[in-house]
């Protein structure tokens, strides 16, 4: 399962999505202001894969670190197609 997060870490939407991902052992994909989660501890507690859209990271001056895998749009489409279930965008 893949959960897509576009909201800033300090929003209820991002909080709800993280709780859901942890509960369901899902992977997460971070886009738009969701990429700010890459520097947060919470993203390291995710059992599944953690993806972040490289374009949105570059715009915001962020560099991928830790368990985050940087992807582009084509890869995002492939990952969504390859996932059994996709939920988003929080």
Q: Which chain residues interact with another protein by CB under 8 A?
A: 7-10, 32-33, 36, 39-40, 55-56, 58-62
At closest approach, how far in Å is the CB of 79 from another protein?
21
Residue 81 falls in which region: left (phi positive, over 0), alpha (psi -120 to 50) or beta: alpha
Is the Cβ of residue 58 or residue 67 nearer to another protein in the bound state? 58
CA 3 centroid distance within chain: 7
Cβ proximity to another protein, 27 vs 56, nearer residue: 56
Inter-residue contact 89 to 8 (CB < 8 Å): no
Smallest gap from Cβ 85 to another protein, in A, equals: 26
Secondary structure (3-state) at 13: helix
């Amino acid at each position: 399962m893949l959960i897509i997060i576009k909201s800033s870490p300090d929003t209820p939407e991002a909080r709800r999505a993280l709780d859901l991902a942890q509960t369901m052992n899902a992977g997460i994909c971070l886009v738009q202001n969701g990429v700010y989660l890459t520097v947060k501890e919470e993203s390291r507690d995710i059992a599944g894969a953690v993806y972040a859209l490289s374009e949105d990271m570059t715009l915001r001056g962020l560099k991928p670190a830790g368990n985050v895998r940087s992807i582009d749009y084509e890869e995002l489409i492939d990952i969504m197609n390859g996932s059994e279930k996709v939920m988003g965008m929080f």
